[in-house]
Amino acid sequence: MILTILSQHTLWLLRFTYKKVKVKLTVSDSKKVFHEQFPYVISGLYKRIVDEMLVELNLLNHQNEFMQDDLFCVGLTETFKELTKGYKPDEHLILLFESLCNSCNFEPKKIKDISKKTLEEYKEKSLKEISILLSEKSTSNLYSSRMLNLGIYLIISNANDFKDIKDSEKNKTISDIFNKLNLSFNKAEKDIGIYKSILVRMEQAKELLQEAKIKASKEKNK
């Protein structure tokens, strides 16, 4: 009974205080809030992506050491953008991102603003310049998370000379930067590898769905 009342109370706080109080929500609570704010059916292709991001954000919200820094914000906004490419209707994407953030006690507008500003700061810079800037701007107590690792990786991969170096050298370059930031490259490498793999599988799934639609259309017109 107490747990039920507490759950209802935390939901009330989240719904009406707009993040003025940092509330520790359970995954179940976050899912309830998410579905209240996003009352649309998510197709199977994207549902797993959304579910995994929600759980990840919920868990981060429970970590006392976690800090919402600029690298985390880049990781969250940019991976969301990449992983939801092709989502229909695309006009739902803004609400989808906002609902994800709100359901786990994160502020979507603040995250988007920080991400945009950060990407501008690193735009059209070389790997050397990015490495120096990351070292200067980053604190010594970065909280290692998948989103943070991907944020750093995406900033590095957008360097104006990243595509010019050999694939064998890219890993060493990324590794050197993570080591300078006192972050585990082994963990980052796994996060990056899984992220790339998901992108490939998503593209393959989209192609198969498109082929199935074309085939169904042809069958219908026979």
CB atoms within 10 A of CB 173: 18
Q: Which residue has the tokens 């074309």?
A: 214
Question: Is the pLDDT reported for residue 77 higher than 50?
Answer: yes
Q: Which residue has the tokens 């507008």?
A: 109
CB-CB contact of 54 with 34 (8 Å): yes
Q: What is the pTM of this model?
A: 0.84
Classify residue 145 as left (phi > 0), alpha (psi -120 to 50) or beta. beta
CB-CB contact of 168 with 186 (8 Å): no
Average pLDDT over residues 126-139: 89
Mean of the per-residue pLDDT values for the chain? 87
CB atoms within 10 A of CB 20: 8
CA–CA–CA angle 142, 148, 152 (5° rounding): 100
* Among 136, 155, 139, 159, residue whose Cα is nearest residue 147: 155
pLDDT in the model for residue 140: 65
Contacts of 37 (CB under 8 A, 6+ apart): 95, 98, 99, 102, 103
Question: Is the pLDDT reported for residue 18 higher than 90?
Answer: no
User: What is the C-alpha R_g of the chain?
Assistant: 20
Dihedral sign computed on CA atoms, order 10, 11, 12, 17: positive
Contacts of 122 (CB under 8 A, 6+ apart): 130, 133, 155, 158
Question: Is the pLDDT reported for residue 219 higher than 80?
Answer: no
